Amino acid sequence: MPKTYDTIIIGAGIAGCCAAFALQEKGQKVLLVDRSSVPASGGSGAAGAFVSPKIGKGSPLQTLTNEAYEYAKDFYLKHFPKYFHQTGVIRIPKDAEDAEKFKRYEPFNASRYRWVSKEELEAIGIQNADKSFLFEEAGVCDAPAMCRAIWKQVPFMQVDVEHLEFNENVWHIKARSHALRGNAYDNINSKENSTPQKVSVCIKAKNIVLATGYQNTLFDMRYMGVRGTWGSRGDYYSKLDLDVSMHKSISVSANIDGIIKLGATHNKAKDPCMACDGKPLKSLEEQGSQMVDTSDFLLKETFCGMRSGSRDYFPLVGRVIDTQYMLETYPAILRGLKPELKHRDSLYILNGVGGRGFVFAPLMAEWLSRLIVDGIEMDKRVDPDRLFLKWCRKL
């Protein structure tokens, strides 16, 4: 173990795994840490993990998402093809009104696509669908397996980070080691997994990357407005002949090795919750049965998790502002003063990837590694700085 790492990445979801991988590719000595003994114990493990383009009328978020989609597709195919299934993804209008909008969306489909008619959809077993877009190069990751495959490429330590201090140009991380019991992919709120041993560890690094998902408690980062959205996924045994994935109001995967996944994230929540009233799959199953023949579906496993989005739905990638310093030094900031921003030394974030973590993570990780290693400024669209002054004026 090196005395001081170049970068420690906290959080082994898809964001942290990709960040560690990208930094290591650039020659850094990295350490990925997570409070769980395995990757993807948070939102990433629950993801349906569709890697598909965003449709719409060419908004800046659509443009960025589709840039990230192209990069992600190539990244997974190049490095981890076993866990990315290029099934194609059909985007189905939610209703007749939505179907009208699809015609206006067409000019903004930057990725390869073709229309599929109602009849063609019926012939492949998709019910109640209007004319749709088929993105043939899109697909679905096996979420935990993809994270695990990336995680295996980088050094990892299981610790629960409690505190970080920056002294003499080095971050000192105070953490506690966990004794994990039970299935680590269980609900993140599971009591089974919450028995920390009183073993304190201190590890050091020149840089820190926070990839902690919705659990954003280590620093004051209120200005980024990270918030959680709760969602569920059910994996079902089925013999249904379905070789394409689709998204309407929920996602239905192709049948891959006898398993079809139904998933969606919709419930805004501060904490993992039981917004689903203990039946997380009830509405998914109802909606799924409107889309395909679910009569032989047999539940294999249920996954629940939180994904974290930002205030403006763009990812949060880059340096972290020293909020306390800014507010104390420039009280007039609340009334519209625009001083130069001061960042925390060598502290970075990769978060806010929302409902498209598997789409955004590879490109965002690449951009972050260019900032940390090569000093290339972050793309303004994802730089968290964009949110700070506006947030101050609302205090």
**Residues of this chain that bind ligand FAD (CB under 6 A):** 10-16, 33-36, 41-44, 46-50, 160-161, 211-213, 215, 218, 231-233, 251, 263, 265, 305, 307-308, 351, 353-359
Strands 84-85, 50-51: pairing kind: unpaired
- How far apart are alpha carbons 227 and 239 in whole angstroms? 38
CB-nearer residue toward ligand FAD: 5 or 358: 358
The least distance separating ligand FAD from the CB of residue 25, rounded to whole angstroms, comes to 18
CA dist 123 → 120, 127, 128 (Å): 5, 9, 12
The least distance separating ligand FAD from the CB of residue 350, rounded to whole angstroms, comes to 7
CB-nearer residue toward ligand FAD: 368 or 392: 368
CB-nearer residue toward ligand FAD: 205 or 333: 205
Q: Beta-carbon neighbour count of residue 234 at 10 Å?
A: 22
The least distance separating ligand FAD from the CB of residue 235, rounded to whole angstroms, comes to 11
The least distance separating ligand FAD from the CB of residue 344, rounded to whole angstroms, comes to 16
CB-nearer residue toward ligand FAD: 141 or 333: 141
What backbone phi and psi angles, to 5 degrees, belong to 17?
-60, -45
Structure tokens given for 76:
């997974």
CB-nearer residue toward ligand FAD: 294 or 326: 294
Structure tokens given for 86:
């290029």
CB-nearer residue toward ligand FAD: 41 or 187: 41
Q: In the chain, how long is the greatest CA-to-CA distance? A: 67
Q: Judge whether 317 and 364 are in contact, CB under 8 Å.
A: yes
The least distance separating ligand FAD from the CB of residue 21, rounded to whole angstroms, comes to 12
Residue 170 has, within 13 A of its CA and on its CB side, a CA count of: 12
The least distance separating ligand FAD from the CB of residue 284, rounded to whole angstroms, comes to 9
Which one, of 393, 32, 2, 23, lies nearest residue 210 by Cα?
32
